[in-house]
Amino acid sequence: MYYYLYIVAGLALAISVISSRDKTLKALKIAARRFVTILPAFLIMLILVSVVLFLVSDEVIANYLGSNNKFFAVLFASFFGSITLMPGFIAFPLSGILLKKGVLYMVLSAFTTTLMMVGVLTYPVEKEYFGVKVTIIRNVISFFIALAVAVMTGIFFGEIF
């Protein structure tokens, strides 16, 4: 299924090389440097997530994030996503692992959306730039948008109704 994405990416790279070989090589060098820069953090987070998922049983994950109580699971995931500081390149593979463990799409949607949009841990920095009022309003609105996205995801995947 993912082979199509590789084919499209390969074709785009070939078109780019044909269009401008120098610019393509320069872009590939920049991408490689950035990849090497984030690789240590990515590996550390991947190892930590793997250890935590190994130590935390599937029953615990299913109890808190499973389909027993969808409302609680969405709120728990939203709260956890709001207070966690994790880059997207860690969050999305983690969501894939949790999906394989039986976590609903709407719960994963709530987690990843609040993770990306709500910044409880970044509040001190954000208030310096935007002020307290704007920071609080932005975070509250983002939280409710994340809940709306989770509900829409649940409806779309047939987890609600």
Q: Which residue shows structure tokens 């070939």? A: 14
Domain count, the chain: 2
DSSP 120: S
User: Which of the given ranges, 26-35, 50-59, 94-103, has the highest pLDDT on average?
Assistant: 26-35
Band (pLDDT 50/70/90 cuts) for residue 151 is very high
Domain-ending residue, one of 11, 26, 55? 55
Q: Which residue shows structure tokens 């609080």? A: 136
pLDDT surpasses 90 at 11: yes
Q: Which domain holds residue 6?
A: 1-55
Buried residues in 30-44 as b, exposed as e (16+ CB within 10 A): eeeeeeeeeeeeeee
Task: Determine the pLDDT at residue 120.
Answer: 85
**Rounded mean pLDDT of 111-122?**
89
Lowest mean pLDDT among 59-68, 88-97, 133-142: 59-68
Is 38 in the same domain as 106?
no
* Identity at 152, one-letter amino acid code: M
Is 50 in the same domain as 125?
no
Asked whether the whole model's pTM tops 0.85, one would answer: no
Is 84 in the same domain as 161?
yes
Query: How far from chain centre, in Å, is Cα 81?
Result: 9
Task: Determine the pLDDT at residue 84.
Answer: 80
Is 49 in the same domain as 60?
no
Is 41 in the same domain as 69?
no
Is 98 in the same domain as 143?
yes
3-state secondary structure of 157: coil
Q: Which residue has the higher pLDDT, 23 or 122?
A: 23
Taking residue 153's Cβ as centre, other Cβ atoms within 10 Å add up to 20
pLDDT surpasses 90 at 123: no
Domain-ending residue, one of 11, 40, 55? 55
Task: Determine the pLDDT at residue 70.
Answer: 87
Is 61 in the same domain as 30?
no
pLDDT surpasses 90 at 100: no
Q: Contact, 133 vs 125, CB < 8 A?
A: no
**Rounded mean pLDDT of 31-38?**
90
Is 159 in the same domain as 147?
yes
- Of the candidates 90, 92, 60, the residue with the CA atom closest to the CA atom of residue 73: 60
d(CA 108, CA 61): 12
Structure tokens at 56: 């935390």
Task: Determine the pLDDT at residue 147.
Answer: 96
pLDDT surpasses 70 at 30: yes
**Rounded mean pLDDT of 126-150?**
93
Is 77 in the same domain as 103?
yes
Q: What ranges in the chain are assigned the alpha helix state H? A: 3-19, 21-55, 58-65, 70-83, 88-100, 105-117, 123-130, 132-156
